[in-house]
Structure 1
Amino acid sequence: MSAVEPLHILLATYNGARFLPVLLDSVLAQSDPNWVLLVRDDGSSDDTVTVLHRYAAHDARIRLMADEDATLGIRRNFERLLDCAHRAGAASFALCDQDDLWYPHKLARMRAALEGAQARHGGSTPILAYADLALIDDAGRSIAESHFGRAAAPQVRHGVDTWLIAHNLIPGCAMVGNRALLDLALPFPPQVFHHDWWLILVASAAGQVISVDAALTGYRQHSANAIGAAAPMSRILDFILHFRHSLEDARAQYVRAVDQAAALVERVGVGGHRKWIAAAGVARDRLGAPVRRVRIGAILAGPVRRIGLARNVLMFSVSLFPLRRRCRERSGAPSTR
């Protein structure tokens, strides 16, 4: 990719006026100024759009999408942004959340990682790079220095493996990707529930995923988060206190992983990396099998396991129940990652 081409930052907003100025100021303060911020609001009822127009009036790099659709939900909102960037000829993109804080050198570090990988593997290779995140509270105070460390998965700082087929621990706001990834990932198959999970799966199965071992984003945790980063013990306690609801969410997540694995095999096909396509085939055929003992055998034998004992116990427990194959998308649906 040429150094003169701006990176397209994609921001999906919905009732985010409270923290949006902090996010926008941190984007404006990036040491790498070569970017375009493409924003699509999903029908906010607060002052989000007013804030966006105010910033766009002072910086031509901030551009608001206008379409007739109101509320699409998180996945479809980001898909619309990704498609718009693709049609605009974007050579690279970054996903952005409305309530986070970008550290000053984030864009420069991520662009360097992406361009370095593209120089090694070629422009036709789908590439995604991601970094760690620091967790911050409503006031911007530090909660944890590492999102992956707090999630009891420090190995994710150094790369991904086929556990990614079963669950995703990497938020979209930590990711950047190239045009070849957009070429292959778009349009999203109907089985896709989380846009970021699909993008990193496609890059893993058909291209390259690069990890940057640094926390480059302040990942804000607050009560209004659609998707958050709860500590493992908090998740366990929540599961116990709200067992029925938690089990239903876990079962839905299991089915999404199975269905998305099938979509991955279909989209990437024989051109993908053998290890990843084989693992996705196991998830599709064995984790998604109607016979319980086949599902249990697949979890015990691998290669599709989650990170950590507790997550695997939950996955095993869910596999004991009959699968429900129809999961509707919900706007702002909570994550069970």
Structure 2
Amino acid sequence: MEKCISDKIAILMATYNSSQFIREQLDSLYSQSYMDWELYIHDDGSNDNTLDIIEQYSQRYENIRVIGKEVKALGPKNNFMFLLNNADADYYLFCDHDDVWFPNKIELTIQQIKKNEIADRSNPVLFHSDLHIVDTELKTISNSMWHYAKIRPDLLKKKNYVMVSCFITGCTLGINKATKELVKDMPDKAIMHDWWIGVKAVMSGAKVISWPEATMYYRLHGNNDSGIPQVKLMPYLKHVFTSFFVSEYDRNIAVIADSLGFKYYKLRKSIYLTRRFLNV
């Protein structure tokens, strides 16, 4: 991949009690086809030997930046947003500690973002991809999360859909600096960082690249296996719109409306008309 001399790439890794799997993920980063990047890590107060492992790798590689050592107990969404807001780069890739990246993930992600900036870095661009689902031993469960979870990436680019259903997976995310400027001020009520980034980007007109091939092994284990719901469009929409005036869904729409300046009553009208269409 050709590199502009000013290009700065930041890999953002949030850790917490990550010792079981972090070595494999770090090894996958240091086996990439493109290696000119910096790894920013923030640990959220691990009580295992996560920091010892990171220190071992820091002695071997000069591009690891452990930041915010005094900042603890942020939780996953705020941990990643802390990293995003404290790393200075042109491009940002989000990295879970327990996965394994394919060797061309960084190169592919940056190539696609740069291609879609259309020679103007002021254009916000978001890249995300399919994932290869594996168990704790990296044995295949499904070679496509999108197929496994019945996710339709074409719908993720539609504003009316993404307001209530955003399945852009954070560990595949890559964004440029223009997108960072859009999403850097996450509301406290946002569900998760990737939900917020995906919704805000789509609703703000960012270019969204839904890469149809897996770029990483997504590891299912006891702490994250609830993160892949199997979704069918019509039952899901009926559930969402039937429940619209109840807590979480109402809150989701309110967060979006407040952050993007929409009139809340217009969103409610849209929901009402959709409920009539779905007969729920």
TM range (shorter): 0.7 to 0.9
| Equivalent position of 2:187 in the other structure | 189
Question: Alignment partner for residue 6 of structure 1, among 5, 8, 11?
Answer: 8
Q: TM-score, normalised by structure 1?
A: 0.72
1:218 match: secondary structure? strand
CA contact (8 A) 1:131 1:157 kept: no
User: How far apart are the structure 2 equivalents of 1:147 and 1:226?
Assistant: 12
Unaligned runs of 5+ in 2: 236-242
| Equivalent position of 2:240 in the other structure | none
| Equivalent position of 2:81 in the other structure | 79
* One-letter amino acid of the counterpart of residue 100, structure 1: D
Distance 1:84 1:171, change over 3 A: same
Question: Alignment partner for residue 299 of structure 1, among 269, 274, 277?
Answer: 274
From the two aligned structures, give the one with the greater helix fraction. Answer: 1
| Equivalent position of 1:160 in the other structure | 157
CA contact (8 A) 2:166 2:199 kept: no
Distance 1:83 1:116, change over 3 A: same
Q: TM-score, normalised by structure 2?
A: 0.86
* One-letter amino acid of the counterpart of residue 72, structure 1: L
CA contact (8 A) 1:158 1:211 kept: no
Distance 1:145 1:226, change over 3 A: closer
Unaligned runs of 5+ in 1: 237-247, 267-279, 303-311, 317-337
User: How far apart are the structure 2 equivalents of 1:92 and 1:184?
Assistant: 14
Q: Deviations over 1:267-317 (max 9, x none)?
A: xxxxxxxxxxxxx65xx3366x5xxxx686243258xxxxxxxxx89xx6x
* One-letter amino acid of the counterpart of residue 92, structure 2: F
CA contact (8 A) 2:156 2:162 kept: no
Distance 1:253 1:16, change over 3 A: farther
5 Å-filtered alignment, 1:149-228, equals: 149-153=147-151, 155-156=152-153, 160-162=157-159, 163-206=161-204, 207-225=206-224, 228=227
User: How far apart are the structure 2 equivalents of 1:204 and 1:118?
Assistant: 15
Which runs of 4 or more aligned residues in structure 1 lie more than 4 Å from their structure 2 counterparts after TM superposition?
A: none
Question: Alignment partner for residue 136 of structure 1, among 131, 134, 137?
Answer: 134
Distance 1:7 1:229, change over 3 A: same
| Equivalent position of 2:257 in the other structure | 262
Deviation (angstroms), 1:232: 4.9
* One-letter amino acid of the counterpart of residue 214, structure 2: A
Distance 1:252 1:13, change over 3 A: farther
CA contact (8 A) 2:12 2:83 kept: yes
User: How far apart are the structure 2 equivalents of 1:6 and 1:29?
Assistant: 19
* One-letter amino acid of the counterpart of residue 297, structure 1: Y
| Equivalent position of 1:30 in the other structure | 32
Q: Deviations over 1:90-141 (max 9, x none)?
A: 1010011011110001111111100001125x21111111111110101001
Deviates more, 1:197-206 or 1:131-140: 197-206
* One-letter amino acid of the counterpart of residue 150, structure 2: A
* One-letter amino acid of the counterpart of residue 4, structure 2: A
User: How far apart are the structure 1 equivalents of 2:115 and 2:179?
Assistant: 16
> How many percent of aligned residue pairs carry the same amino acid?
28
User: How far apart are the structure 2 equivalents of 1:226 and 1:213?
Assistant: 22
| Equivalent position of 1:108 in the other structure | 107
Q: Deviations over 1:57-108 (max 9, x none)?
A: 11011111134221111111111101001xx3x1010011011110001111
Distance 1:193 1:231, change over 3 A: closer
CA contact (8 A) 1:159 1:210 kept: no
1:156 match: secondary structure? coil
Deviation (angstroms), 1:263: 3.0
CA contact (8 A) 1:15 1:48 kept: yes
Distance 1:157 1:46, change over 3 A: farther
